[in-house]
Structure 1
C-alpha cells in the first residue's frame, strides 16, 4: 500500500444537538397547544390542524438535517492519485479520481475581503468542488493543507 499524504473527512456542521432538538420541539409543541386552545375557544376549529401540520413540518425538516449531517466527504491524496468520495451510512461513491502529478487545486476567492468562496480539484478541463460544507476560513485552511499534501505526494515518489 502506498503512502497516504492526506485522508481528510469533511462533515457538515450542525449547531443543534439531539438534546437541543428535543428541547426546541418541546417548546414549539407547548406553544402550539396553547395557541390551539385559544383558537378553539374562539371557534376557529381549523387552526389547530394547521398548527399540527406546522409541528410535523418542523420535525421532518430537522430529521432531514440530521440525516444529512451523517454524510461525509473524504479526500485522499497518495503519491499516485487524488480520490474524493461521498460516504453515507449506507453507501460510498467515488466522485473524483485523478493522477496526483497532474491535479491542480483551484481556489476561488472574494475580491473584496479575500474569503475563500469555492475550492475545486482540476485536471484537463474537468473540475469537481471540494469542501463545500466548510466555512470560508476552514475552506482556506483545507485548501492550504490539500495543496501541501499534493505537493508532498509529487515530491515523495
Structure 2
C-alpha cells in the first residue's frame, strides 16, 4: 500500500531577511512558544578532538606511504581530512536552522529561519486550525497544522519521539485556544 504524504501548501505570510517578530513576545496570553532546532550529536570540543585524531592518523599513514616511495598518497590523506572537516562544517551550518511555533488564542505563527538567515512566516487562525499527525505509530510520524484545505508541516527536523511530543504540546495548546475567551469583532451598524 503506497502512503500519501502531505505537501506543505499554506501561503507564506511574510518572508525576508530577518523578519522583525519581536511583537510575538509582547503578548501575555501565549499558549505555546516552541523553538525547534535540529539535533547535533557532536559538540565543539569533541569535534576538535575528532579532527585532531583524524589528522594524526592520516598524517601517520601518509608518512608511511611517503617512506615507502608512494609520495602522492600523502596528498590524498590530506584531502580526506579536508573533506571530513568540510562535511562537519556544512552539518553545523545546517544546525543553525530554527522553527518557532507560537500559539495564542487568536493565531498560530510558524516562523522558520534558514542557515542563511532568511526567514519565512506562516500565520494560521487558531479557531480554524487543527492538528493532524500522519503515520502516528510509524517511525516517519509527521505532525502538520491544517486549515481550509492547506497544510504546514512542523517539527520535521526532530526525531520521531520528539515529533510525537511536539504534536502533543501543540494539541494541548490548540485545545486551550478553543476554550479561551476571544474578543469578538463588532458587527456592522455601529455600537450597541
Which TM-score applies when normalising by structure 2?
Answer: 0.74
Aligned to 2:99: 73
Query: Would you tell me which structure has more helix in proportion to its own residues?
Result: 1
For residues 3 and 89 of structure 1, the distance between their equivalents in structure 2, rounded to whole angstroms, comes to 30
Aligned to 2:69: 43
Aligned to 1:153: 177
- Structure 2 stretches of 5 or more lacking a match? 1-26, 183-192
For residues 51 and 89 of structure 1, the distance between their equivalents in structure 2, rounded to whole angstroms, comes to 30
- Structure 1 stretches of 5 or more lacking a match? none
For residues 51 and 101 of structure 2, the distance between their equivalents in structure 1, rounded to whole angstroms, comes to 36
Query: Would you tell me which structure has more strand in proportion to its own residues?
Result: 1
Residue 87 of structure 1: how far off its partner (Å): 2.5
For residues 94 and 138 of structure 2, the distance between their equivalents in structure 1, rounded to whole angstroms, comes to 29
Q: How many residues align?
A: 155
Structural RMSD (CA)? 1.9
Q: Aligned pair 1:87/2:99, yes or no?
A: no
Which TM-score applies when normalising by structure 1?
Answer: 0.89
Show CA shifts across 1:107-129 (max 9, x none). Answer: 0125xx55561111112221121
For residues 167 and 57 of structure 2, the distance between their equivalents in structure 1, rounded to whole angstroms, comes to 45
* Larger Rg over CA atoms: 2
